[in-house]
Amino acid sequence: MRLILIRHGETPSNVAGALDTAIPGAPLTPLGHRQADAIPAALADEAITAVHASPLVRTQLTATPLATARGLEIVVSDGLEEIGAGELEMRTDQLSISSYASTVTAWIAGDLAVPMPGGPDGHSFFNRYDAAVGAIAAGHADDATVVAVSHGAAIRTFAARHGGPREERLLNTGAVVLDGDPSSGWTVARWSRDPLGGAHLVDEQALDPTGDPDPV
């Protein structure tokens, strides 16, 4: 199958550089809504059969224009949430952001035993994200194309495990396209760093700690 993982649109927390990972999370900014509105046209050539989103508000708001355009219901899928920040939740200081980023980097490099301060380790993250992706795949035909709206650090970490770049940003409504299935494995077919609607939708001023592998 084809799995298109799309990062949600911009939120006030992205702009402020806050580690906002808990449910329900922040809504979208006006730019975030424009980013979401641009997704249907950007994916016009994809024969999308289902649209999934994490339990957080921002992913469901991002998924809404695409689901509406295709006449589909949004399926809220547990397990697609962001990598939990633990005791760093909603922090904006550089030490906390660096700690979050270095933990994610360790997992991408294969050191899954490193825990997020007060939060999960890499084994826990992959267990729940793999289970979420596995459930999505099990619910659709082998030739289906499914969109799942998820979160920056989670998508980057999952995709890196399947051949995606280890040190590439994923901006709001950027996307990673994977082909395959949980049994035979996934291959990263395309990495769209910029918003699917185009680079004019990038907010260069946003601090965005979960979308950047090396925030400074």
* 100 located within any domain: yes
* 138 located within any domain: yes
pLDDT of residue 213: 85
* 36 located within any domain: yes
Letter string b/e over residues 179-207, b meaning 16 or more CB atoms within 10 A of that residue's CB: bbbeeeebebeebbebbbbeeebbbeebb
| Catalytic residue annotation | 8, 82
* 209 located within any domain: no
The CATH number of residue 184's host domain is: 3.40.50.1240
Ranges assigned E (strand) in 139-202: 145-150, 175-181, 185-192
Collect the ranges in the chain with pLDDT lower than 50. none
Which residue in 166, 136, 162 sits closest to 150, CA to CA?
136
Q: Strands 2-7, 175-181: parallel, antiparallel or unpaired by DSSP?
A: antiparallel
pLDDT of residue 216: 55
* 210 located within any domain: no
Residue ranges making up the domain that contains 51: 2-144+154-201
Which residue type sits at 22? Answer: A
* 108 located within any domain: yes
Which residue in 87, 29, 32, 77 sits closest to 51, CA to CA?
77
Cα(164)–Cα(148) distance, integer angstroms = 17
Handedness of CA 89, 94, 99, 104 (dihedral sign): positive
pLDDT of residue 43: 98
* Number of independent structural domains in the chain: 1
* 213 located within any domain: no
Q: Strands 185-192, 175-181: parallel, antiparallel or unpaired by DSSP?
A: antiparallel
Residue 111: both structure tokens together: 């050191």
pLDDT in tens, 146-175: 999 999 999 999 999 999 998 899 999 999
For the chain, the average pLDDT equals 96
* 75 located within any domain: yes
Which residue type sits at 64? Answer: T
